[in-house]
């Protein structure tokens, strides 16, 4: 029970009646302080709700007061405490206790935990592509990397000759130099497009954010991120904890949304987190960063991203409307 509920219960007048619904009635101490005759018919009612919250009603003079965790002790409750002859030092104690409870509950709702990750094994027989023995099965995977305008040096890509993964490009997820997950992208149109092992809150490519960079560019997919050395949300939504990891980089954060409906929602989240958003004037047919790199090359893509970034909520909202409405 809360200190306030406990103390008030202890100081209620000794002559009390308990009702089945939980009210305690007694001669109200308030009336003479409110210009009414003293109560002699036990018209003061007190109840403890949910173990901590308290409520007082006087059915003689009409005085009311209540408290619940998360609220401060108001002047009316303080008066009631005095009228019940609770000593001043005890009243002060309750006032401070209510403050502490309020602060704790506010802190509790603000406090979000930065996600942590545990190591994960790659799919069976995965090997760094550079170390793979020559195999005709590897060729489509290499072609796929090329079709994304990427090179083997761009990322430690893996491959497994295991039947279930032979036609997939395996992208390990690193965090603090450990492999904590992976995704395996189909290279021949086979479904599902991605088979993934992903821990909640994971942000792709954080390890490769070099500290001399002024920006961190946030994209949706792993190929977008690898294309420009940005990070990826691995989805359109900014999920719980992801923004904390990205904010920890302590740099200007620029979101580059995919040009689709889901991307529009991501922009709203970015505004919430105080991030910048880039609306690059992509040529027709370009939907994401990797598309842009394939068609424009890396320098032009990066240049467009950085020069199309806007920073205030108003500007982001205005640009967002136009950018998403244009032909996609």
Residues making contact with Zn ion (CB under 5 A): 28, 30-31, 58, 60-61, 63
Q: Is 156 exposed, middle or buried (0-12, 13-18, 19+ CB in 10 A)?
A: middle
Cβ closest to Zn ion, residue 76 vs residue 317? 76
Q: How many CB atoms lie within 10 A of CB 250?
A: 8
CB of 23: closest distance to Zn ion in angstroms? 15
Give whole-number Cα distances, 238 to 38, 115, 217, 321, in Å: 61, 13, 14, 20
CB of 65: closest distance to Zn ion in angstroms? 11
Q: What are the structure tokens assigned to 108, written together? A: 């509790």
Cβ closest to Zn ion, residue 8 vs residue 184? 8
Give per-residue burial for 163-183: e unless 16+ CB within 10 Å, then b. Answer: eebbbbbbbbbbbeeebbbbb
13 close to 29: Cβ distance less than 8 angstroms: yes
Cβ closest to Zn ion, residue 60 vs residue 65? 60
Cβ closest to Zn ion, residue 58 vs residue 141? 58
Cβ closest to Zn ion, residue 65 vs residue 242? 65
Helix or strand or coil: residue 321? helix
CB of 111: closest distance to Zn ion in angstroms? 42
CB of 86: closest distance to Zn ion in angstroms? 17
């Amino acid at each position: 029970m809360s200190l306030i509920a406990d103390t008030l219960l202890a100081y209620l007048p000794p002559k009390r009646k308990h009702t089945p619904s939980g009210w305690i009635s007694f001669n109200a101490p308030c009336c003479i302080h409110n210009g009414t005759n003293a109560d002699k018919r036990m018209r003061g009612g007190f109840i403890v709700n949910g173990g901590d919250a308290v409520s007082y009603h006087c059915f003689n003079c009409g005085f009311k007061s209540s408290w619940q965790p998360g609220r401060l002790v108001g002047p009316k409750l303080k008066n009631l405490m005095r009228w019940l002859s609770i000593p001043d030092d005890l009243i002060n104690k309750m006032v401070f206790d209510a403050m502490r409870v309020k602060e704790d509950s506010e802190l509790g709702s603000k406090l979000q935990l930065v996600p942590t990750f545990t190591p994960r094994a790659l799919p069976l027989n995965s090997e760094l592509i550079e170390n793979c023995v020559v195999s005709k099965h590897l060729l489509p995977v290499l072609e796929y990397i090329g079709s994304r305008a990427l090179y083997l040096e761009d990322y430690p890509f893996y491959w497994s000759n295991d039947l279930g993964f032979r036609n997939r490009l395996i992208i390990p997820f690193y965090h603090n130099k450990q492999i904590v997950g992976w995704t395996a992208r189909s290279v021949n149109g086979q479904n599902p497009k991605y088979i993934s092992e992903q821990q909640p809150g994971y942000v792709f490519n954080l390890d490769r954010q070099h500290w001399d960079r002024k920006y961190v560019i946030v994209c949706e997919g792993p190929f977008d991120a690898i294309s420009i050395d940005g990070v990826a949300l691995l989805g359109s939504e900014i999920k719980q904890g992801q923004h904390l990891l990205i904010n920890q980089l302590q740099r200007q954060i620029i979101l580059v949304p995919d040009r689709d409906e889901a991307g529009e929602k991501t922009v709203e989240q970015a505004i919430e987190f105080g991030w910048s958003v880039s609306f690059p004037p992509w040529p027709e047919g370009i939907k994401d960063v990797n598309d842009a790199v394939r068609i424009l090359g890396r320098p032009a893509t990066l240049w467009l991203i950085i020069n199309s970034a806007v920073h205030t909520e108003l500007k982001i909202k205005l640009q967002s409307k136009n950018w998403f409405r244009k032909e996609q």
